[in-house]
Each structure stands twice: as C-alpha cells, then as structure tokens.
C-alpha cells in the first residue's frame, strides 16, 4: 500500500485548480443508466471511486471509455476558462453507452468498496423495472442506513424486499407522488429524484437535500429531458416524462477539494489562488475561515485568493446539511484549529463516528478532547511530524494538512482512502511548494 511522506513547514504559494466534483460525478454517472445513446461527461475526476463506479457500470453491461482532451484545447466552461495555460493536466472526458445494459445487480463486493454504488438503484428501477443492489453495511464514519432511499422508492410504487443481504426492487412504471424525507439525505434525494424523472405524473419531494451536487445532477437530468424544478431548495418538483435522452454535461468543480486548499494555505502561512472554482458553494467554509482570521478575497467570479497574515483564532464549528458547514470539511478545519490561539468546539451532527482523525492528530501533538459528538480542540504552538494512518477520505485530508504544517516528517499510511477523492493531491501540493511525495508500495 502506498504511503505519503511530508516534510512540513513550507508555506504554500502559487495557483491551483480543483478537479471535477466526485460527489457530483458519481450520481451523474448513475444517471446515464436512465437513457439510451452515448453520454459524454466532461471534467470527470480521475479517482478510485470513479474507477469503481465505471467498473460497476461495465458490470451492468454498459460501455465506458475515457478520452483525454489536451490541456488548452477545451472551450470556456461556466466557471472558468479551461484554455488557461496554468492548467497542466488534460481535461478527461468519459463516454458511457448504456444501451446494452443486461444485468441489474450491484454486487456486495462493489457496494462494500463504495457505498455510492446504491445510486444505480433508482435509475435501474425507473428504466428497466428491476434492480438488485447489495445492502451497504456500516461504514467507518457511521451506520449510514439507506432506509429513506427505499421508503421513497416504495412510495413511487416499487416493490422492495430484503433478501440475502440484497435489496430486491421491482416495479412497472413508477407513479409520481408526494414524498417527505425525514432527513435531507444527499444520495437518497438523488436516488429518488432520478427514479421520479421517468415516473408517470408529478413527484413532490419535501425536505430534499440542497447540496450543490444535487443541483448539478438536476441540471444534468434536465439536459436529458427531465422536468425538475426547485433544485437547491427544500422542495423538488419532478414532472415525469416517458423517456430521457443521452447526456452531455460538465461536472462542477469539487467544493470540498477547494475548501481543503483554503485550509492548506491557512495552515501553512501561505498565499494561494484557487482558479476555476465556485466560491458560492463554499460560503459557510469561507465565513468560518475569515472568522478565524484568514484573509480570503474573490479576485474574480470563479477564483479565490487565500492568505494568512497573522495568528489563527479559535472558532466553533457545527456541521449541518448544506448550506451549513459541510461534514466533509470538519476534519480539515479541525487540523487548522489544532494550531489556533484558544479553544474551539467542533460539533459533528451528520455522522456519529466522524472523529477518527482525532487519535492520529493527537499523535502529532494536538490537544483534543471528545465528548459524544463534540470535540474540544485546544490550540498548541506547533504539531510534530509522526507516522499516522488514514482511516477515511476526509480524515486523510486532515492528516495531510497537519503534516504540511508540522515540524519534521509525517508518514501517512493507507493513502488509498485519499485516492478515493483527491486527484493528484501530492502533485498539486508540490506545485504549490509543499515537500510531499508518494512512496509506492513495491509489493
């Protein structure tokens, strides 16, 4: 297994660009199952989770091919000019053809590796009238049941049974209805929204998730001919249509990767510009960092400049569904708070076990006390590099950030967690001046 070695203490400087958003690309890949024809997805991030999802699509019988577009040859996109000479990596395009789908099962081995595999449930059921998807087990960060996905699909008319660890779903044409979600689940909203696009009649989904990735998916579905309104609000209205057509869509920039770069600049006393991002998706994160004394400006509509001048002040953070502070940034801001002046209280309200990074941060000299879903972080003057272990995606990011700021060497093992969600992280950080390298597993 690869490891990442960081020699801390370098201030990050320069320009960086986030990749396409993982959590938007995954449901949009699932959406290609809803229609025949060759769908083209642009700005797809090259990540382990995307590879797992394309593997799943192939397993179902789809054809999936990557075509690389030379850097500089892409046209303007809504959030930036990809002809920008700063862009060093090619813009990947992914083509998916689902005409030949003849298998309706997401097997245990795939769902176990990546829970987002459950996103095929709604599309398969809506287009083919059947799906068999392994029930995901628990996860490092929490129990993460999918009862609300299943309840919503049942209300649309699906017959759902649980057998041998699998969700077996069957339906004729689904029927639009009013659905209220007990919690604004992100992938649950996406699964139900995708299924409802092909239902007969109108679906009103109340207490829907408002995350930007849900909006990106709704926009993609509307390009396929769906009739969805209200995306980004708590009420989605979906007027069902008999069929959808192929998709051509550019994935939005990854807001969590963007937020991670914001913290990277702050924690290293750096000064960086993040280009081709969507600042409006990060209001809560930007507000918290500014409250902590980090200087963040918006030189243009799709760029951010982040600079640290003085000391970091301790701030309290509570994770919330969007537009609140994202749980996917909790571990990263905790790394920053480890070096703040004073004590900060960090409350995790989305997942019940998302403090796994704390034990590793303690090994680097942090002072953190956990009580239930609250961590009290007392800032220390410095962290010291140590061998640490990544436990999940965002926990890994927080260890990278802590390592960038720490004195001496930090060796992070199990970086496959990081590779699930951060594209070329060590290349991007090296270009900003970090001393970071990957030690390849020889085995």
Q: What is the set of active-site residues?
A: 139
For the bound state, the minimum distance from the C-beta of residue 23 to ligand EPU, rounded and expressed in Å, comes to 4
By CB under 6 A, how many residues form the interface with ligand EPU? 23
104 vs 351 by CB, closer to ligand EPU = 351
Q: Is 34 left (phi over 0), alpha (psi -120 to 50) or beta?
A: alpha
For the bound state, the minimum distance from the C-beta of residue 428 to ligand EPU, rounded and expressed in Å, comes to 18
- DSSP state, 200? B
Contact characters 382-411, ligand EPU, x per CB under 6 A: -----------xx-----------------
Residues 289-348 that bind ligand EPU (CB under 6 A): 327-328
- Contacts of range 221-226, beta carbons closer than 8 Å, 24 or more positions apart: 221/31, 221/34, 221/193, 221/194, 221/197, 223/247, 223/248, 223/249, 224/31, 224/34, 224/35, 224/197, 225/35, 226/197
Q: Is 187 in the site for ligand EPU (CB under 6 A)?
A: yes
- Which listed range, 58-66, 77-85, 179-187, 272-280, lies at the site for ligand EPU (CB under 6 A)? 179-187
242 vs 372 by CB, closer to ligand EPU = 372
Q: Is 195 in the site for ligand EPU (CB under 6 A)?
A: no
**Prior bond to 323 cis, omega within 30?**
yes
For the bound state, the minimum distance from the C-beta of residue 166 to ligand EPU, rounded and expressed in Å, comes to 16
398 vs 410 by CB, closer to ligand EPU = 398
- Which listed range, 30-38, 75-83, 178-186, 273-281, lies at the site for ligand EPU (CB under 6 A)? 178-186
Give the residue from 261, 193, 214, 232 showing the smallest Cα distance to 423: 261
- DSSP state, 387? E
For the bound state, the minimum distance from the C-beta of residue 324 to ligand EPU, rounded and expressed in Å, comes to 10
Give the residue from 58, 428, 424, 66 showing the smallest Cα distance to 265: 428
- Which listed range, 31-39, 144-152, 242-250, 336-344, lies at the site for ligand EPU (CB under 6 A)? 144-152
Residue 165: count of CB within 10 angstroms of its CB:
11
Q: Is 144 in the site for ligand EPU (CB under 6 A)?
A: yes
Q: Is 13 in the site for ligand EPU (CB under 6 A)?
A: no
Q: Which of 10, 18, 23, 43 binds ligand EPU (CB under 6 A)?
A: 23
For the bound state, the minimum distance from the C-beta of residue 149 to ligand EPU, rounded and expressed in Å, comes to 5
Q: Is 186 in the site for ligand EPU (CB under 6 A)?
A: yes
CA distances from 418 to 49, 173, 175, 424 (A): 10, 40, 40, 10
Contact characters 339-378, ligand EPU, x per CB under 6 A: -----------xx---------------------------
The whole-angstrom separation of Cα 135 and Cα 161 is 11
The whole-angstrom separation of Cα 377 and Cα 104 is 47
Angle, CA of 232, 238 and 239, to the nearest 5°: 150
- What's the start-to-end Cα distance of the chain, in Å? 8
- Which listed range, 40-48, 78-86, 185-193, 263-271, lies at the site for ligand EPU (CB under 6 A)? 185-193
β-strand partners of 312 = none
CA distances from 346 to 256, 294, 343, 358 (A): 18, 18, 10, 12
49 vs 74 by CB, closer to ligand EPU = 49
Q: Is 185 in the site for ligand EPU (CB under 6 A)?
A: yes
Q: Is 210 in the site for ligand EPU (CB under 6 A)?
A: no
Q: Is 183 in the site for ligand EPU (CB under 6 A)?
A: yes
The whole-angstrom separation of Cα 297 and Cα 284 is 14
55 vs 293 by CB, closer to ligand EPU = 55
273 vs 401 by CB, closer to ligand EPU = 401
CB 302, CB 78: distance < 8 Å: no
The whole-angstrom separation of Cα 87 and Cα 265 is 19
Residues 101-120 that bind ligand EPU (CB under 6 A): 116
- Which listed range, 137-145, 274-282, 367-375, 399-407, lies at the site for ligand EPU (CB under 6 A)? 137-145
Q: Is 46 in the site for ligand EPU (CB under 6 A)?
A: no
Q: Is 255 in the site for ligand EPU (CB under 6 A)?
A: no
Q: Is 142 in the site for ligand EPU (CB under 6 A)?
A: yes
Residue 294: exposure state from Cβ atoms within 10 A (0-12, 13-18, ≥19): buried
Give the strand pairing for 91-97 and 63-69: antiparallel
Residues of the shown chain interacting with ligand EPU in the complex, contacts defined by CB under 6 A: 23, 26, 116, 142-149, 183, 185-188, 327-328, 350-351, 393-394, 421
């Amino acid at each position: 297994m690869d490891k990442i070695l960081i020699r801390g203490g370098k201030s990050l400087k320069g320009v960086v660009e986030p990749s396409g958003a993982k959590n938007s690309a995954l449901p949009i890949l699932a959406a290609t199952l809803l229609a025949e024809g060759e769908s083209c997805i642009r700005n797809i991030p090259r990540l382990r989770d995307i590879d797992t999802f394309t593997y799943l699509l192939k397993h179902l019988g789809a054809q999936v091919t990557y075509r690389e577009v030379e850097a500089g040859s892409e046209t303007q996109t809504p959030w930036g000019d990809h002809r920008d000479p700063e862009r060093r990596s090619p813009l990947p395009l992914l083509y998916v053809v689902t005409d030949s789908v003849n298998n309706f099962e997401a097997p245990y081995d795939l769902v176990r590796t990546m829970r987002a595999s459950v996103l095929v449930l709604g599309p398969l059921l809506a287009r083919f009238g059947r799906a068999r998807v392994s029930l995901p087990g628990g996860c490092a960060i929490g129990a993460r049941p999918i009862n609300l996905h299943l309840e919503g699909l049942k209300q649309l008319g699906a017959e759902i049974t649980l057998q041998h660890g699998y969700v077996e779903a069957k339906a004729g044409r689904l029927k639009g209805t009013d659905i209220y979600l007990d919690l604004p689940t992100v992938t649950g909203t996406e699964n139900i929204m995708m299924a409802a696009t092909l239902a007969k009649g109108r679906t009103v989904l109340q207490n829907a998730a408002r995350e930007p990735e849900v909006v990106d998916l709704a926009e993609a579905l509307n390009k396929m001919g769906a009739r969805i309104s209200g995306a980004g609000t708590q009420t989605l209205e979906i007027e069902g249509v008999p069929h959808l057509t192929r998709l051509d869509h550019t994935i939005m920039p990854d807001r969590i990767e963007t937020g991670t770069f914001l913290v990277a600049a702050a924690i290293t006393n750096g000064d960086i510009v993040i280009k081709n991002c969507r600042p409006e998706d990060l209001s809560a994160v930007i507000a918290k960092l500014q409250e902590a004394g980090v200087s963040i400006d918006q030189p243009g509509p799709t760029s951010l400049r982040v600079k640290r001048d003085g000391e970091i002040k301790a701030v309290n953070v509570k994770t919330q569904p969007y537009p609140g502070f994202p749980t996917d940034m909790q571990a990263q801001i905790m790394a920053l708070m480890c070096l703040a002046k004073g004590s900060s209280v960090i409350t995790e309200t989305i997942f019940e076990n998302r403090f796994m990074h704390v034990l590793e941060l303690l090994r680097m000299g942090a002072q953190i006390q956990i009580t239930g879903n609250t961590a009290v972080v007392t800032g220390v003057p410095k962290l010291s590099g140590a061998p640490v272990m990544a436990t999940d995606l965002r926990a890994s990011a927080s260890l990278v950030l802590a390592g960038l700021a720490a004195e001496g060497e930090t060796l992070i093992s199990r970086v496959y967690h990081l590779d699930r969600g951060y594209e070329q992280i060590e290349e991007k950080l090296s270009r900003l001046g970090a001393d970071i390298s990957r030690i390849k597993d020889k085995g």
